Amino acid sequence: MEQRDQWATKIGLILAMAGNAIGLGNFWRFPYQLASNGGGAFMIPYFIALFFLGIPVMWIEWTTGRYGGKYGHGTIGPMFYLMARESLKPKTALIFGIIGGMLAFSVASLLSSYYYQIIGWSAAYTYYSLTGAYFGKDTVQFFVDYVSNTGAVITFWGLTMVILGIAVGQGVSKGIERWVKVMMPLLYVFAILLVIRALTLGSPVKPEWSAIKGLEYIWKPNFEVLSQNFFKISLAAAGQIFFTLSLGMGIIHNYASYLGPEDDVALSGLATVSLNEFAEVILGGSLAIPIAFAYLGPEQAVKSGVGLAYMALPNVFMHMPGGQIFGAMWFLLLWFAGFTSAIATYNYLVAMIEEDIHIDRKIGTWLVFIFLFLLGLPVALDSSLVYLSELDMWVGSYFLVLLGLFDVIVAVWLFKPDNFWEELHKGAFINVPSWFKPIMVFIAPLFMIILLGGNTWDYYK
């Protein structure tokens, strides 16, 4: 058998994992979730979910992925099957493999169907910022016109997909790893430059609106608002943790499968979480909301919703000195962030074809291209964005938590907690404290069951 591809360098692996996690979730989704869920009220359950769900599930997925890779598998189906066999008969274990495999396939493809569109918007807006196309116009109308312009939408989305296809077609170490090594450092540089710009913004409109007010809105804990909407805000916060850390998608498993069998997962998993959270709460949190607070005022900023990044901010750039450059930088940042995440879902689907059905990677890449193009077409054609928001609500939160629950059931319970703990520590650079074990075995799954139950209840209520 041909040797399976592996990450060539440690730094490449960490950047690829960080690139996987750091995405539109950090710069587009986080600010608007935060704004629609009470700012400082949202941050409380957010950090609780980070600790009790984010970190444990991240470790579980890294461990599962490396375990699968050892047997030559990069997708959840065979991974779950192998692990469940530890306590089940092969036939029963197969059921878990099939459920996990189908869930991950649905998540990776449906998520891509709308996520790649938003990356396409970012490409378009980078171009429109450079040319100043929306300057002096009504930016809401401009956005509505853009998403109704099917030709433009498909062109920018298609172009993005072609570049994704080229990168994935080159393989893991020669493709993905090389691309992220260029894009991720640039992403950090852009984000830091933009943060400096944002936080030094006084308001040209009203002196009492400033970027700093936006930071206060995020960082001042607001227990009152939280207690009034406890369930809704907690669900949104936990959903965001899953989304931003790329959990419950199969893509952390897949990337971890390209590790060597004795490569560290404990410290690397934690590093992925830390790099992502830095990019989310520190960088992501200091951009869209503070900028919008300074230029649009608190009320407008909080109300902007899904459109914050694409409708509210262009309004700001056109009035800002150097706005064409800062605007282009912001949208190129979004494009890089989205691209280095999208490459992971794309690779997941290619790995399914390559390893589970044994078709050559090059051919697999273009088969996936056609599949994702057809799946994304209805999203591209629906200029009302209703279908897109619906997908984001279901796939972007509910399904992720569901797959996360299966992660624990299979990799911790069926594989057996002691085996799991041993596997997590193989080759580990750090020792996970033993009090963390009950969190992984009991608290995290209980938390997910409550979330799923609450979500279902909310829906039928």
Beta carbon of residue 43, minimum distance to ligand PHE (angstroms, whole number): 17
Beta carbon of residue 274, minimum distance to ligand PHE (angstroms, whole number): 14
Among 63, 75, 244, 397, binds ligand PHE (CB under 6 A): 244
- Cα distances from 398 to residues 65, 188, 226, 393, 454, in angstroms, run 22, 30, 21, 7, 11
The verdict on 344 binding ligand PHE (CB under 6 A) reads yes
Say how many C-beta atoms besides its own lie within 10 A of residue 241's C-beta. 32
The answer to whether the CB of 285 falls within 8 A of the CB of 448 is no
The verdict on 256 binding ligand PHE (CB under 6 A) reads no
The verdict on 180 binding ligand PHE (CB under 6 A) reads no
Q: Which is nearer to ligand PHE, 26 or 36 (CB)?
A: 26
The verdict on 255 binding ligand PHE (CB under 6 A) reads no
The verdict on 336 binding ligand PHE (CB under 6 A) reads no
Distance of CA 264 to the CA centre of its chain: 23
Number of residues that bind ligand PHE (CB under 6 A): 15
The answer to whether the CB of 234 falls within 8 A of the CB of 45 is yes
Among 13, 14, 26, 50, binds ligand PHE (CB under 6 A): 26
Say how many C-beta atoms besides its own lie within 10 A of residue 315's C-beta. 21
Among 36, 122, 304, 345, binds ligand PHE (CB under 6 A): 345
Q: Which is nearer to ligand PHE, 234 or 345 (CB)?
A: 345
Binding marks (x or -) toward ligand PHE, 95..134, rule CB under 6 A? ----------------x---x-------------------
d(CA 23, CA 50): 17
Closest-CA residue to 181 (of 403, 17, 359, 402): 17
Beta strands in 329-449, from DSSP E residues, in sequence order: none
Lookup: tokens for 428: 């580990």
Q: Which is nearer to ligand PHE, 25 or 314 (CB)?
A: 25
d(CA 106, CA 395): 9
Residue 178 class from Cβ within 10 Å (0-12 exposed, 13-18 middle, 19+ buried)?
middle
The verdict on 21 binding ligand PHE (CB under 6 A) reads yes
Per CB under 6 A, the segment of 21-29, 158-166, 282-290, 416-424 that binds ligand PHE is: 21-29
The verdict on 23 binding ligand PHE (CB under 6 A) reads yes
Applying CB under 6 A, the residues found at the interface with ligand PHE are 21, 23-26, 111, 115, 243-244, 246, 251, 341-342, 344-345
